[in-house]
Structure 1
Amino acid sequence: MSTISLRIPESLHQHLRELAKKEGTSINHLITTAVAEKISALSTEDYLAQRASAGSRAKFEEALSRVADKQPEPYDKL
């Protein structure tokens, strides 16, 4: 486990205190979770960009051409 010193505005700190109390957790846990969520979102964005760059419009259209040309089941209609 590592320690980090963080300077934040008092108003943000107050919001963190209130939210942590409301959630029944510590400020440290709340911040750790928020950082983990942000890292996950950015990593997912990078992963999807990487996958998209490897894609091919021709392969997509070829795969789509193999889908049956029929109406969706009643439970699948909008």
Structure 2
Amino acid sequence: MSTLSVRLPESVHKKLKELAKKEGVSMNQFISLAVSEKLSVLLTVDYLKERAKKGNRKDFEDILSQVPDVEPEDYDRL
């Protein structure tokens, strides 16, 4: 594990402290989770962009044409 020193505005530090306490975790754990979530989002976007480059519009439309043309179920009744 490595150490990182971060400068935060007082208002952000105060909110961080409050939210970490509310969540029942240390500020370090809260920050680590927040950074991990952000990395996950950015890496997922990059992954999807790369996958999209490999896509084929005709294949997509062929597969989509196989989906039945029906109204969706009314989930409010469930």
- Tell me which interval the TM-score lies in, with the shorter structure as reference length: 0.7 to 0.9
Count of residue correspondences? 75
Which amino acid letter does the alignment assign opposite residue 54 of structure 1? Answer: K
Does residue 76 of the first structure (1) align with residue 61 of the second (2)? no
Which secondary structure state, in structure 2, belongs to the residue aligned with residue 76 of structure 1? coil
Task: Report the Cα distance in structure 2 between the residues aligned to 1:5 and 1:60, rounded to whole angstroms.
Answer: 47
| Separation in structure 2 between the aligned mates of residue 46 and residue 37 of structure 1, nearest angstrom | 14
Structure 2 counterpart of 1:48 = 48
- Find out whether 1:63 has 2:60 as its counterpart: no
**Alignment match, 2:10:** 10
Unaligned segments of structure 1, at least 5 residues: none
| CA-to-aligned-CA distance 1:15-69 (integer Å, 9 cap, x gap) | 0111111111100000000000000000000001011111111111222233455
Distance 1:38 1:65 in 2: 36
* Range that drifts further, 27-36 or 17-26: 17-26
- Structure 2: where are the runs of 5+ without partners? none
Q: TM-score, normalised by structure 2?
A: 0.83
